[in-house]
Amino acid sequence: MHNDDAIVVSDLSVQFAGIDRTTALESVSFNVRHGEFVAIVGPSGCGKSTLLKVIARLLAPSRGTVAVHGEQAGKLRVGFVFQSDALLPWRTAVQNVELAVRLAGGDKHNASARAHHLMEELRLGDSCDKYPSQLSGGMRKRVSLARALAQQPSVFLMDEPFSALDAQTRIHVGNFFLRILEESKQTVVLVTHDIEEAVALADRVLVMSQRPGEIAASFEIPLPRPRDYHATRFVQGFQQLQQRVWDTLGYGATNGR
Ligand SMILES: Nc1ncnc2c1ncn2[C@@H]1O[C@H](COP(=O)(O)OP(=O)(O)OP(=O)(O)O)[C@@H](O)[C@H]1O
Ligand SMILES: [Mg+2]
């Protein structure tokens, strides 16, 4: 493992048991540098969520290894935003976030203050005392984001974190996230269907092929920071970068872009 690397994925394969023995990932290898923001795009079912779960140790690979810096030292804290939000249903929204602050070492008083602050920032101030079942999908997603932020993780693993949000909320929440990540230089692996979003946010975009997923291409995104979730799409060079990603996915010729 190189000193600059936060995550090293080597020759990873995942095969699910069952009659058809689905191979979700095939020989996936890549590194993520400390403080780097990597976005992963690829067609539905190519193994993106599976890959994040293996990195988070929620799923054991059939072959290959994942090394996450700091793990041996017991310092590893992974903030995971699941594609399905995975909130605790018996706790209110703000209590879900408070628990994450407490698990990260915060005392009771601070946990409450910090959780309420995050809820406000994510425009959920009015929904603190609601239970997950009483929230919309986009609201649950934001609680899930607040919870990941509350953990102050060294590595963020985010599975389509902004996909359920309306356009205005997405810009607000996206920018809130960008400010935190750019200031603290956390390492991020973000999965998204949205190629524009991937290019707007990331330092590097990895393109996965159809299942069984492999890394088909890797693009450095040398756009200046700090970035704006929305306005970055209009800076010089953005369209060309986006086009290159589209071309790799094989949509370049047919969608008229
Ligand atoms: N627990 C499981 N058991 C069996 N097969 C699974 C399991 N989880 C995922 N798969 C299969 O593995 C493949 C990859 O699934 P995964 O959820 O990683 O895709 P994805 O790239 O995240 O898709 P999407 O973009 O739709 O979220 C799919 O064919 C899926 O059916
Ligand atoms: Mg998925």
**pLDDT of 107 over the 60 cut:** yes
Q: Which two tokens stand for residue 134?
A: 């009483």
Contact of 86 with 147, CB cutoff 8 Å: no
**pLDDT of 77 over the 80 cut:** no
Please give the angle made by the CA atoms of 168, 132 and 191, to the nearest 5 degrees: 55
User: What pLDDT was estimated at residue 75?
Assistant: 59
pTM of the model: 0.92
User: What pLDDT was estimated at residue 70?
Assistant: 65
User: What pLDDT was estimated at residue 90?
Assistant: 96
Closest ligand (CA of 15): 1
pLDDT class of 256 with cuts at 50, 70, 90: very low
Ligand 1 pocket mutation pick from 12, 40, 44, 48 by most atoms within 8 angstroms of CB: 48
User: What pLDDT was estimated at residue 251?
Assistant: 60
Closest ligand (CA of 43): 1
Q: Which residues line ligand 1 (CB under 6 A)?
A: 16, 18, 22, 24, 44-50, 83, 211
Distance CA 50, CA 45 (A): 9
Measured in angstroms, how far is the CA atom of residue 104 from the centroid of ligand 1? Answer: 30
Closest CA to 169 of 147, 195, 136, 196: 136
Q: How many CA atoms lie within 13 A of 129 on its CB side?
A: 0
Close Cβ partners of 186 (under 8 Å, ≥ 6 residues apart): 35, 153, 154, 155, 156, 180
Nearest-atom number in ligand 1 for the CA of 18 is: 4
Distance between the two ends of the chain, CA-based, in angstroms?
Answer: 40
Measured in angstroms, how far is the CA atom of residue 26 from the centroid of ligand 1? Answer: 13
Measured in angstroms, how far is the CA atom of residue 217 from the centroid of ligand 1? Answer: 21
Q: Region 19-45: what's the mean pLDDT?
A: 93
Closest CA to 196 of 185, 205, 186: 205
Listed range (2-6, 39-43, 241-245) with the worst mean pLDDT:
2-6
Closest ligand (CA of 45): 1
Q: Is 70 helix (H, G, I), strand (E, B) or coil?
A: coil
